[in-house]
Structure 1
Amino acid sequence: MTRLDEWLRPTAPPRSEPAPTPAERRALWFEVTVVLLVTFGLSGLSGILSLIEDATAPGGLAEQTVALNTSQSRVGWIDLGRQLLGVLRLCAWAALGLYLLWRSGLGPARIGLPWPPRRRRDLLPGVWIAALIGLPGLALYLVANAVGINLTVLPSTVEEHWWRLPVLTAWAFANSAAEEVLVVAYLISRLRRLGFSENRSLLASALLRGSYHLYQGLGGGLGNVLMGLVFGRYWQKTGRLWPLIVAHWLIDTVAFVGYALLRGRISWLP
């Protein structure tokens, strides 16, 4: 067996508690449904509608543009307040997932979020994963945009303020924390408890991640499905969530802050 085969083969965690009763299964399904409808499940449905709308617009996807971070008021301090409220909302989503897992016996350390994170086991792997995902992801975006199955994505159009770069960095962290806690640790853990195999849990997690990125086009959705497969399998194999949060944070920070700094200075940037 090669190392790749070993990595792709799921490793089911040992079952440390009895299978849920029918009443417990119904309660788990209700909880998962509500959590997803409040968070990324609803975003996924909205992403599907956005994709249909953009695909049927004159010129198709190739003629459409979407901005990920935008100014939310012409008044600077109100814009800052709304930006911070958006960051707070995503952090609350992450906290909700952590709380529900903790209530069921899966505290932060058990899902791979010990405090403080370790440099060798958490931070450095995150840097490597960011490089592994970020560079091919950029190439996939450029190809998808060139063949007309993706919108032109503007990582940030926030107006210049003294707080712009710190807030974009905060958005990047909030995105990474919410997505990795809910879409990886929470969803896969809950599906395990419901009797899903590791592969089925992984696929569900990856498809959810892809769905709420469909507003960027088919390329954005497909790229995030692939990212979800890599991230989900990494967590299944290692049980470490910090590297995924660090990697996602780095990828988004480079995109948001780099674009904000270089827009208008490099001719090929939209």
Structure 2
Amino acid sequence: MTAREVWRSWTRPHRPAAAELDGRERRLLRTELLVVFAVTLGLSGVRSLVSLLDALAGPTALDDRRTAIDETLARNPWADLAAQLAGSFALVAWGALGLYLLVRAGSGPRAIGLDGSRPGRDALGAVGLAALIGVPGLGLYLAARALGLNTTVIPSMLGQHWWTVPVLVVSACANAWAEEVLVVGYLLHTLRRLGVSENRALAVSAVLRGSYHLYQGFGGGLGNLLMGLVFGRVWQRTGRLWPLVGAHALLDVVAFVGSALLAGALPFLPA
């Protein structure tokens, strides 16, 4: 296969035939998209943008600010544990909502690649994607901080408790599930039903992913936008969502647990 053919296969993915929708069905589907993301990750994107604008308007430089992803939510350790688990449960419910709406529409887990037909290949794909995204992602974060375009991101600021590491693993998996099911599986599948081109749908998905990471700074937004382009295209080409969920979970587990265990040991992991 020539380089041109490889490029065309990447930029023009195969598009499965979609059922025709009448005017009322299209309006309802568009409304469904707006409502789902208005109460989930779309709302998170708006809040993240407001957080970034507030940081830029403040007296402290962006690279002098610290941003925590997982932080203490209550002073009592048992109350904090309950609050952490409740937050993860909410993320699991967000992803379940997207999957439920697909089932109601006549699709289901198999339609977006969440079936168990190829666990070995999905697991290998997850490891490969994590490696592909992880190292360049860390480089982009460090470059953005050096240029003053990003906050210092601290994945975990939880206290040292017996439940800290298990809770961080649960949080990582919940984040991966919610984001990949909603922003890739549900969104791209629904935009395909609406007749939106694959490249345009990919851009929408990637911009949405970048938007709700803007609270970390421009580097966080750009890095996740690029991740969204890669993840979205992989799904469009393969139709498999489990590798994306697995890769995202691996990346977050390494970041969250590594931050908790190695805080202060590495220059990019503040104490």
Residues matched between the structures, number: 268
Write the deviation string for residues 39-91 of structure 1: whole angstroms up to 9, x where unpaired.
00000001110110111111331121110000111101100000000000000
Residues in 2 aligned to 1:164 and 1:50: alpha-carbon distance in whole angstroms: 27
Residues in 2 aligned to 1:63 and 1:168: alpha-carbon distance in whole angstroms: 25
Alpha-carbon contact 1:168-1:253 (below 8 Å) kept: yes
3-state SS of paired residue (1:68) = strand
Residues in 1 aligned to 2:117 and 2:249: alpha-carbon distance in whole angstroms: 17
Residue in 1 that maps onto 2:41: 40
**Cα distance change on mapping 1:165 and 1:7 into 2, 3 Å:** farther
Identity of aligned residues (%): 54
Counterpart AA for 1:40: L
Counterpart AA for 2:83: R
Shift of 1:22: 1.1
Residues in 1 aligned to 2:236 and 2:190: alpha-carbon distance in whole angstroms: 13
Residue in 1 that maps onto 2:209: 209
**Cα distance change on mapping 1:71 and 1:123 into 2, 3 Å:** same
Alpha-carbon contact 2:70-2:156 (below 8 Å) kept: yes
Residue in 2 that maps onto 1:195: 195
Between 219-228 and 257-266, report the one with greater CA deviation: 257-266
Residue in 2 that maps onto 1:80: 81
Residues in 1 aligned to 2:163 and 2:118: alpha-carbon distance in whole angstroms: 27
The answer for unaligned runs of 5 or more in structure 2 is none
Alpha-carbon contact 1:10-1:237 (below 8 Å) kept: no
Matches within 5 A, 1:59-70: 59-70=60-71
The answer for unaligned runs of 5 or more in structure 1 is none
Residues in 1 aligned to 2:99 and 2:24: alpha-carbon distance in whole angstroms: 23
Write the deviation string for residues 110-139 of structure 1: whole angstroms up to 9, x where unpaired.
2111137511x2001100100000000000
Residue in 2 that maps onto 1:178: 178
Residue in 2 that maps onto 1:49: 50
Residues in 1 aligned to 2:18 and 2:160: alpha-carbon distance in whole angstroms: 53
Taking structure 2 as the reference length, the TM-score comes to 0.96
Residues in 2 aligned to 1:89 and 1:224: alpha-carbon distance in whole angstroms: 22
Between 144-153 and 188-197, report the one with greater CA deviation: 188-197
3-state SS of paired residue (1:177) = helix
Residues in 2 aligned to 1:7 and 1:253: alpha-carbon distance in whole angstroms: 32
Residue in 2 that maps onto 1:8: 10
**Cα distance change on mapping 1:103 and 1:59 into 2, 3 Å:** same
Write the deviation string for residues 81-105 of structure 1: whole angstroms up to 9, x where unpaired.
0000000000000100100111112
Residues in 2 aligned to 1:7 and 1:250: alpha-carbon distance in whole angstroms: 28
Shift of 1:268: 5.1
Between 140-149 and 97-106, report the one with greater CA deviation: 97-106
Residues in 2 aligned to 1:61 and 1:239: alpha-carbon distance in whole angstroms: 39
Alpha-carbon contact 2:15-2:198 (below 8 Å) kept: no
Residue in 1 that maps onto 2:94: 93
Counterpart AA for 1:156: S
Q: Are 1:109 and 2:128 an aligned pair?
A: no
Alpha-carbon contact 1:10-1:236 (below 8 Å) kept: no
Residue in 1 that maps onto 2:151: 151
Taking structure 1 as the reference length, the TM-score comes to 0.96
Residues in 1 aligned to 2:171 and 2:237: alpha-carbon distance in whole angstroms: 28
Residues in 2 aligned to 1:116 and 1:166: alpha-carbon distance in whole angstroms: 28
Alpha-carbon contact 1:185-1:241 (below 8 Å) kept: yes
Counterpart AA for 1:238: T
Shift of 1:14: 2.6
Alpha-carbon contact 1:212-1:221 (below 8 Å) kept: yes
Shift of 1:143: 0.2
Moved beyond 6 Å, runs of 4+? none
Shift of 1:16: 4.4
Counterpart AA for 1:17: A
Residues in 1 aligned to 2:219 and 2:196: alpha-carbon distance in whole angstroms: 28
